[in-house]
Structure 1
Amino acid sequence: MSTQQHRATPVSLPPESAISGAYATTNLADAYSIELPPGASTNPELLARFIFSQQAPWVSSLMAVRDTVVGRFGLKTAKQLALLGAESTTGRVGIFRIYGTSPTEVILGEDDKHLDFRLSVLCSNQSSAGGKRHLTLSTVVHCHNRLGRLYILVIAPFHRLVVQSNLRRAARIGWPMATEA
């Protein structure tokens, strides 16, 4: 597998993504794309489940710190969201609620009193001119108040590191094959 298939590249928010117009105003919008190898699945929900189940241990540690801080402000913690996922037979990918699916995209996210966010896992089912297919993970956030804006200010640099790490780690482990969809 080429090094290129392990590189998560910052890209513009894909205009074909359902989250590109999710909010009238956004306080954070970013997208990262990674090359999918030949034969890899392009089932966006399968890939989302794979990405979020393969996170690096340091991400869990970071989430534990986050939970300790945000819990004091009455915000939803990852532990609370994971319990929702465990109780649900459908409708969640890890800690994220599923807001929509299509053959090429799954929209995940959560709403809370400080902000709402949507996360898109968008797959190119068709090979590009160079014969390469890509997965793009995009995030948009709409803050409701000062707490939300402060939260994003603090979290944004970590968010970007986590997204890129998740994509690189999934690529290194090896994407699910199309036969697994």
Structure 2
Amino acid sequence: MPREFELITSVPIPSRSGITHLYKSLNLADAFAIRLPADTSSSPELLARFILSHRPAWVGWLIKVRDTIVGRFGLKTAKHLGSLANRIGVFKVYSTNQTEILLGEDDKHLDFRISILCAEEPEGSRQLVFSTVVHCHNPIGRAYILVIAPFHRLIVKASLLRAARVGWPLAIDPKKDQDVEVE
């Protein structure tokens, strides 16, 4: 795969994203973009499932460490979240349309949303933008996000890079925009 499809850039949260004006105040807001090959699926849900199921192995270790620590503070663990309905991995699905899926969680300490948006570029190429916004409710939420933010950014970038290297799921027929399922 050409390296041009492995370049991940920090970008502003797209103005058309459903998370742009979701919270009055933000304790974390970031977005990362990666170009998609022309034959890649344009289904945000399929792409979200693909990214979250192809994370680097070291992310699983970090999640176990996180769960051990945060479970003591009353935060939800990945094991608990993964057992709930209407989820992609540990993330609750809030909405989906032809260009974007919104995932996230509301908790007593903080609320967050993730947007996976498939965007057409003016020159005809496509990109995927993975955006995150977090709104904290109290000092525990703010402390948590201060500790987690650097890891979050590494995980998002590493997950996008891994998905690109594994090979994005393909559209069956890009003209009809019918997508294949991920295993």
Q: Normalized against structure 1, the TM-score is what?
A: 0.94
Aligned partners of 1:21 and 1:173: how far apart in 2? 33
Q: Which segments of structure 1 move beyond 6 Å, counting only runs of 4 or more?
A: none
2:7 corresponds in structure 1 to 7
1:154 corresponds in structure 2 to 147
| SS at structure 2 position matched to 1:106 | strand
1:138-179 superposed Cα distances (whole Å, 9 cap, x missing partner): 000000000000001000000000000010000000000111
1:106 to 101, 107, 114: 101
| SS at structure 2 position matched to 1:38 | coil
1:31 aligned partner, one-letter code: A
* Mapping for residues 72-91 of structure 1, pairs under 5 Å: 72-84=72-84, 88=85, 91=86
The count of corresponding residues between Structure 1 and Structure 2 is 174
What's the offset of the Cα at 1:131? 2.9
1:163 corresponds in structure 2 to 156
What's the offset of the Cα at 1:54? 0.5
1:118 to 113, 117, 136: 113
| SS at structure 2 position matched to 1:32 | strand
- Alignment identity in percent? 57
Gaps of 5+ in 2: 173-179
1:50 aligned partner, one-letter code: F
Aligned partners of 2:2 and 2:125: how far apart in 1? 12
Aligned partners of 1:129 and 1:76: how far apart in 2? 41
1:44 corresponds in structure 2 to 44
Give yes or no for the alignment of 1:95 onto 2:82.
no
Aligned partners of 2:35 and 2:2: how far apart in 1? 10
What's the offset of the Cα at 1:129? 3.4
Q: Normalized against structure 2, the TM-score is what?
A: 0.93
Aligned partners of 2:129 and 2:104: how far apart in 1? 16
Give yes or no for the alignment of 1:142 onto 2:109.
no
1:35 corresponds in structure 2 to 35
Aligned partners of 2:138 and 2:2: how far apart in 1? 44
What's the offset of the Cα at 1:130? 3.0
Aligned partners of 1:167 and 1:76: how far apart in 2? 25
What's the offset of the Cα at 1:7? 1.6
Give yes or no for the alignment of 1:56 onto 2:51.
no
RMSD over equivalenced CA pairs, Å: 0.9
Aligned partners of 1:107 and 1:94: how far apart in 2? 13
| SS at structure 1 position matched to 2:73 | coil
What's the offset of the Cα at 1:79? 0.9
What's the offset of the Cα at 1:82? 1.0
| SS at structure 1 position matched to 2:4 | helix
